[in-house]
Structure 1
């Protein structure tokens, strides 16, 4: 619903945890899901779009790839993911959209870690970012505190 007024013809995410959320969004828009892989496999043949993405969770860097046959200049793409920490995954996916000459409609995440700079980084890049919930802080003593307007 966050992007209901937009024309979207593909949902883009990154393997693996973003796929389930992307599928839910794809059902709403009635469009296909394309997911970037972290390693080249037998089912990715030919030319690819690629970008480097640093994983906050795994503390490593991956080359994400999508076959050129799945993204086209006429596409209107919505990026969807589960968590947003440092923003590198969404920015990497946005690079793939740019390489394809497609239009990035925006990015939607389920939970944004507001105490990290990923959301700020993405918004400063001019990407329309929508988060279902923004965690302002979390610790073992007080638990999780959400930003009020996202509840």
Structure 2
């Protein structure tokens, strides 16, 4: 299977947008732009921070993602109805993990590492290790090449 060629500038533009949004949010509000924390704040699951500001930031993520798809459409995988329970379980486990780890990849990996936070360095290392281990185990079970 041949993967489609990805122009070098799309990841660069995406990275610049993420960095600009995270840095701007920190400078303007004094808060970290961790998406799981912003979502928890929006849903009223955490105290602290302006709920409307968190909601606007998350709405901005959705709108700009939609714009990016409109500018450069990609084929999304089709899912069977039998995959739904597995996806729900995966989503719940990710949500539990972000609460357990006091943040998600955007909070720790993007914002925390930029601030040289020791907790974020450990958390990001754990994210990366678990991700690599998961790929290795899935490839052993399901099969598949590199």
Q: TM-score, normalised by structure 2?
A: 0.25
Q: TM-score, normalised by structure 1?
A: 0.24
Greater gyration radius: 2
